[in-house]
Structures are given as C-alpha cells and as structure tokens.
Amino acid sequence: MDDESVGIALVVVSAIGFGTLGIFGVIAADQGLSIPTVLALRFALATALVWGVRWHRGRFRVPGRRILAIAFALGAGGYAVQSGLYFFGLEFMTAGMVGIVLYTYPAFVVCLVAVVHPDRVTPRLLGALGLSIGGVALVTGVDPAGVDPRGVVVVLGAALAYSLYIVVSQRALTTVDAETLTSFVLPSAALSFVVFGVGTDTLAMPDGAVAWGSVLAIAILATVVPVLTFFAGIEKIGASRASIISTAEPAVTVALGAAVLGEPITVVTVVGGTLVVAGVIVIQREGT
C-alpha cells in the first residue's frame, strides 16, 4: 500500500475507534460505574499508554511552562467538560443519537470564528451550518426515537465545549505539535475527574471482568488507538483530508449502537445524520 492508502486506512481506524466510545460508555454505565470513575480511569490509562508509545518512539518531550499551563487548561476546562457532558448525555439518549448531536461541533467552531473574524464566514459556510443544524433538528424533532430534550441540550453543551477546546488548541499548535499537546491534555483531564470524584464521593474501582473490560476498551480502543492513528494519518494525507474522512465516526456509532445495543435506526435518523455529516464536510473543505 502507498502512503495515501495507509493514511486513509489509519484515519478510518481512528474514526471507528472514536465511534465505539458511546457503546462502551453505555456498557460501563450498565455495570454501575460512575462518570468520574470511568473518565478518571480513561484518561489516566490513556496517559500512561500514550506516554509509553511516544517514549518508545523517541518523541516524548516536556514542553515549556506556558504550553504546560495551556495543556492543563485545555484538559481540565475543555476536554474534561466535553467528555463529562458526552457521558452524561448517554443517560438520556442512545449512543447513536449522542454521536450525531455531538458532531455539530464544527458548526459551533464556525460561530466562534464568526465572532472574532466575521470576514472569514462565507455564504457556503453558513449553508453548511444550516445543514448541520437542520440535521439535528430533524432527528430530534421529527423522530423522537432515542431522543430526550434534556440529552440534546447536554450533548450540544459538549459540542460547544469541544469547539472551544479546538479553537484554543489551534492557537497553541502554532508553537507545539498536536501529539505533544495531547500528551499533557490527557493527564490534566484525568486529574480533574479524580478531584471531582473525590469531592463528590463517586469514585470506585470497577468490579468484575465486564466492568474492567469496558474501562480498558474506552481507554485503549476509544482513546489511545484513535488518537495515535489519527495523528499518523495526518502525517500521510494532511489534516484537511483526515478531518473529512473522520466524519465516518457518527455513522460508526449509530451502526454499532444498533448491532450491539439494539438501538433503533429509522429513515429520519439516517437522513438527519447525513445532513449533519454533509455540513461538516463542507465546513472542512471550506477551511482548506
């Protein structure tokens, strides 16, 4: 296989990995694991694995204090908030629906950019924004299967938090590479959930093979593998193409939700999800 084919395959693997997050999240919740427990272990285990891989590759470097401070803020205030709201949303909606609603985050990025740089917002971007919003409105308004209004609000909050994380990250990435930044975002996110869990007395170690299996799957299959393969894919095909290919993620979540959890898939869900993904693709192409 040539570099382009390998790059595409790596990003597809990444999308599949991220797409499993909601499935394993539901399984973990069914095992009685609290959100702080799952996410503290997710980010702690992911940190150890990512640091180990990067150390083995000779890429592990400790950045300066400024970057460390930014990484801490991104992890504790951005990624942790997004992840917490995502898992909270799973308590109200199906994993597939959560995946679709979360994928509105590029539309929020457009809105944030419009506030700071209104000249960069084109009619095409506004049209793409309308597609994504229309897709969410369709699946949550016309087809209520697996939808709870509270869940929609919660997951839209996750999408907003993720968009803020992306916007701030883009500034930091002018002075540090994405892998290094992620390596220090992960432990700060882990620490935030440890502190929150201790403060709310909601931390408890998993009990049993299924509980531990779901946590390990979240940390490895839904975090470390997709993070590393996405970065590897970017090196071969570029960030723009990788971002477009990664739009397969919500489709993976919907399909796995139906296959593994027996979640409903209707025509309206498919059409609405397609509109969301189409809007994201247009946004990504416009940004190239």
DSSP state string for 55-115: HHHT------HHHHHHHHHHIIIIIHHHHHHHHHHTTTS-HHHHHHHHTTHHHHHHHHHHH
pLDDT at 100: 87
pLDDT at 287: 58
Q: What is the CA radius of gyration of the chain?
A: 18
pLDDT at 109: 80
pLDDT at 168: 84
* Confidence (pTM): 0.88
**Phi, psi dihedral angles at 66 (to 5 degrees):** -65, -45
The ranges assigned to domains in the chain are 3-286
What is the C-alpha separation between 218 and 28, in angstroms, rounded? 9
How far are the Cα atoms of 34, 80, 219, 255 from residue 27, in angstroms, in the given order?
Answer: 12, 20, 14, 16
Is residue 156 within 8 Å of 163, Cβ to Cβ? no
Question: Could you report the per-residue pLDDT of 205-258, keeping only the tens digit for each?
Answer: 999 999 999 999 999 999 999 999 998 888 888 876 787 788 888 889 989 999
Local confidence pLDDT in tens for the 288 residues of the chain: 678 889 889 999 999 999 999 999 999 999 999 999 999 999 999 999 999 988 888 878 888 888 899 999 999 988 999 999 999 999 999 998 899 889 888 778 877 877 777 777 778 777 877 888 788 777 776 655 556 788 889 999 999 998 888 888 877 878 888 888 889 999 999 999 999 999 999 999 999 999 999 999 999 999 999 999 998 888 888 876 787 788 888 889 989 999 999 988 888 888 888 888 888 777 767 654
